Structure 1
């Protein structure tokens, strides 16, 4: 019983520390979240999950969508004129999210 209490106390103390590691929620998250979800888990078929992706990959992909290097009109329109700082906030947010298991549809 004592071990169980110690473990519970340890988890209680660790939870705020884990939450403190998340970057602040980006102001520009709304439009991204419509397809990719606020926590990076896709909300619509065909949209990739972004939770837990590498920061450098997300940052580069967002830059390429913004600059037109990746020619995906939907993404270019969605990202719009985003600053480097806003782009970095979005990449940091999604890379810090923990991927969640997907629910599988029953046939």
Structure 2
């Protein structure tokens, strides 16, 4: 009984951590082609998105979508994305661990 209680308490303690990790968004493949599914870009000149601030990612994605940032490839990719999908992408990438200092 005591072991069961301890195990249950450990699971309850871990729930907030699990709840904070968002599910991969449905539009992830759109971004992952260049930025990587985990936000670590392999293409030269493509920024890493992992670990960026949520509010920053949301704002920048809206700017690309609305044309306030004039980058044609981003406008084409993010143009048809709804506010909910944009939010899911921003949440996903902000929740990913940032690139370590030793990686390119």
TM-score category of the 2 structures, normalised to the smaller one: 0.7 to 0.9
The Cα offsets for residues 50-90 of structure 1, whole Å up to 9 and x where unpaired, read as 00100000000000000001000010011131110000000
Q: Which residue is 1:35 aligned to?
A: 34
Mark the runs of 5 or more structure 1 residues left unpaired by the alignment.
1-12
Q: Which residue is 1:83 aligned to?
A: 82
Q: Which residue is 2:66 aligned to?
A: 67
1:20 Cα deviation (Å)? 4.0
CA distance 1:21–1:76, shift in 2 (3 Å): same
Q: Aligned partners of 1:17, 1:48: CA distance in 2, in Å? A: 30
Q: Is the 8 A contact 1:34 1:43 kept in 2?
A: no
The normalised TM-score by structure 1 is: 0.77
CA distance 1:17–1:43, shift in 2 (3 Å): farther
Q: Which residue is 1:92 aligned to?
A: 91
Count of residues in correspondence between the two structures: 94
Aligned-pair Cα RMSD in Å: 2.1
The normalised TM-score by structure 2 is: 0.79
